[in-house]
Amino acid sequence: MNPPRTDARRHHDPATRGFASDNYAGAHPEVLAALAVANGGHQIAYGEDDYTAHLQQVIRGHFGAGAEAFPVFNGTGANVVALQSVTDRWGAVICAESAHINVDEGGAPEKVAGIKLLTVPTPDGKLTPELIDRQAFGWEDEHRAMPQVVSLAQNTELGTLYTPDEIRAIVEHAHGLGMLVHLDGARIANAAASLDVPMRTFTNAVGVDILSLGGTKNGALFGEAVVVLNHDAVRHMKHLRKLSMQLASKMRFVSVQLEALLAKDLWLRNARHANEMAQRLAEGVRAVHGVEILYPVQANAVFARLPHDAAERLQKRFRFYFWDEAAGDVRWMCAFDTTEDDVDAFVAALKEEMAR
């Protein structure tokens, strides 16, 4: 049989690297190989395929015998579906002011899911029981949206990490107030790699009720999953996934990617490498006079402050984003395919622009 013909042409330079987002990276070759394995022939649509069934075994190996995965297309979809499943129409979600669900999802939790977000300013992106209490009140007040869920991100939008004990304390506090806990795990692999613990250590083992499990930022082509950890607290997940336009007809192609990442150690290898490149970047940046690192570098993100004009010139050489343009704050992200040479070239360019 002749190999399949393609008329596709490459429209980019595959050697180009940036530090804007781990979403800029392509798919890991092992993930692409898994997609090829799943291709061909017919499989039942909408999640009744063999690959989605096998993914459940893989997920239970990471998150316990009761865990169940619901593959979705993207991270915003995972968060919206997860939060809908654990809130009433009058319910509210307490989150950090800097949380992705508050600042980077286009209002989807509020507009699509109809959920009020009750935000709390944090110095480092992390909630605490004391910070949660600033919004955890008014359950009997019909004039106020009812706090029903606390949403954490691991790692946070500022690149910081919760320890398992910190999450346990939050879960115990939230449960004691009658609230549930959602964890946004878009970069959960980076957190586990940095903490050097299994993902279960800061999720089901400490009482988290529902999880958004990331894949795209860690080497998948596309696809995330909502992982239900507390079935008693979650309602109508199958219907909400469809209602939220997150039910893939050819779900095997989402599931096989998550299986490729999670069945062995690809998820951990990718995350460790990205984290190591961020540490190398931070080390190089600290040696550049006039550049300040803003937060502890605990995963694959480096937040820094430098003169605005230097940052603009550097952006013409390497793609990255301003985090707070008025203050001169920027975010530099490393991915599974970032190389030492990429980092060293970026640091050299940073030194040149700061010296001008």
Looking at the fold, whether 258 and 280 belong to one and the same domain comes out as no
Q: Is residue 337 part of a domain?
A: yes
Looking at the fold, whether 90 and 212 belong to one and the same domain comes out as yes
Q: Is residue 3 part of a domain?
A: no
What does the alpha-carbon distance between residue 161 and residue 49 come to, in Å, rounded to a whole number? 36
Q: Which of 262, 277, 304 is the last residue of a domain?
A: 262
Give the pLDDT means over successive 10-residue stretches in the chain (356 positions).
74 92 97 97 98 98 98 98 97 98 96 96 97 98 97 97 98 98 98 98 98 98 98 95 97 98 98 98 97 98 97 97 95 98 98 96
Looking at the fold, whether 70 and 217 belong to one and the same domain comes out as yes
Looking at the fold, whether 38 and 181 belong to one and the same domain comes out as yes
Tokens representing 158 are 């500022």
**DSSP codes, 214-256:** --GGGT-SS-EEEEES-TTT---HHHHHHHTT---TTTHHHHH
Looking at the fold, whether 114 and 137 belong to one and the same domain comes out as yes
Q: Is residue 277 part of a domain?
A: yes
Q: Is residue 5 part of a domain?
A: no
Looking at the fold, whether 198 and 298 belong to one and the same domain comes out as no
Are 194 and 163 spatial neighbours (Cβ–Cβ below 8 Å)? no
pLDDT at residue 144, as a whole number: 97
Looking at the fold, whether 188 and 277 belong to one and the same domain comes out as no
Q: Specify the CATH number for the domain of residue 33.
A: 3.40.640.10
Which residue from 223, 186, 268 is spatially nearest to 35, judged by alpha carbons?
A: 223
Which residue from 140, 145, 138 is spatially nearest to 118, judged by alpha carbons?
A: 145
Looking at the fold, whether 231 and 301 belong to one and the same domain comes out as no
Q: Which of 210, 235, 262 is the last residue of a domain?
A: 262
pLDDT at residue 5, as a whole number: 75
Check the CA dihedral 169-163-303-21 and report its sign. negative
Looking at the fold, whether 35 and 66 belong to one and the same domain comes out as yes
Three-state DSSP class for residue 152: strand
Q: Is residue 6 part of a domain?
A: no
pLDDT at residue 3, as a whole number: 63
Looking at the fold, whether 280 and 257 belong to one and the same domain comes out as no
Total domains, the chain: 2
Q: Which of 234, 262, 290 is the last residue of a domain?
A: 262
Looking at the fold, whether 242 and 348 belong to one and the same domain comes out as no
Measured torsion, CA atoms of residues 304, 307, 311, 312, in degrees rounded to the nearest 10: 150
pTM, entire model = 0.96
Q: Is residue 14 part of a domain?
A: no
Q: Specify the CATH number for the domain of residue 285.
A: 3.90.1150.10
Tokens representing 140 are 């009997």
Domain range enclosing 70? 29-262
pLDDT at residue 181, as a whole number: 98
Q: Is residue 88 part of a domain?
A: yes
Looking at the fold, whether 258 and 297 belong to one and the same domain comes out as no
Q: Is residue 300 part of a domain?
A: yes
